[in-house]
Amino acid sequence: ADVEVVAETGSTNADLLSRLGELTKPLLRVALHQTAGRGRAGRSWQSVPGGMLMFSLAWPLSRETHALMGLPLAVGVAIADVLHALDLPVQLKWPNDILRDGKKLAGILIESAANKNGGTWIVAGVGLNLQLPETFEANLGRAVADAPWLARMDRNTLLAHLLNALAKAFEQFDQHGFSAFQARWNALHAYANQEVQIIDHGQILQRGFAVGVDVSGRLLLQTAAGQIPVLAGDVSLRPV
């Protein structure tokens, strides 16, 4: 992959999405600060200059855009495994977050566009909190995690580990889909068999016990009416 590093930009995902037409190979874009970082469904991702590792990776897949369900979860597994190998125990929150001690350490945002050959360009954005100022939580209004120990590690080395893991994950996902990641995801599940709510635009959509994810990456909820699969879409999960 080609690599670009910028001090500041609006959103590395937005930058890469606007350039997909001109790409001929994978491109990694790293920003030390984002002024308009994005989460899912128009939510925002906050950063402080130098306080986190933020990057987006554009990668071509042979799969069609509609066959990407589960990709954010597969990316979560790849990143969690890198962090585990660096002695940072993390867990996964469905569908797209990485938690440390139950608090959000990293977010993942996958966006995509069809390419000319029937395949897809994906843009995988990752924001990983390394060292946040004390005021960060209060400003955000929710508990978040960082990883000061990782912050002391060489950023290029950390980035190289993540890039290698993501490249492998994309290739595996392209060939086998989410099935190759299901067991590992369930082993890292933060809310296994805990009671959770699924929230959609502020409304409680479902409530039940989070069993785990199925072979396509849908969350299996045990409810009074039996076990139901939940599609990621724009919904969010909250522990009860």
Site residues (vs ligand ATP, CB under 6 A): 39-40, 43, 45-46, 96-97, 104, 107, 127, 129, 140, 142, 144, 236
Q: State the minimum distance, in angstroms, from the CB of residue 53 to ligand ATP.
A: 11
Name the active-site residue from 19, 103, 104, 184. 104
Reply yes or no on whether 238 is catalytic. Answer: yes
| Sequence-separated (6 or more) residues with CB below 8 Å from residue 225 | none
Q: State the minimum distance, in angstroms, from the CB of residue 16 to ligand ATP.
A: 18
Cβ proximity to ligand ATP, 26 vs 107, nearer residue = 107
Cβ proximity to ligand ATP, 5 vs 140, nearer residue = 140
Contact 166, 75 (CB under 8 A): yes
Q: State the minimum distance, in angstroms, from the CB of residue 236 to ligand ATP.
A: 4
Q: State the minimum distance, in angstroms, from the CB of residue 29 to ligand ATP.
A: 18
Name the active-site residue from 29, 40, 93, 100. 40
Reply yes or no on whether 184 is catalytic. Answer: no
Reply yes or no on whether 93 is catalytic. Answer: no
Cβ proximity to ligand ATP, 126 vs 174, nearer residue = 126
Name the active-site residue from 43, 168, 207, 238. 238
Positions marked catalytic: 40, 104, 238
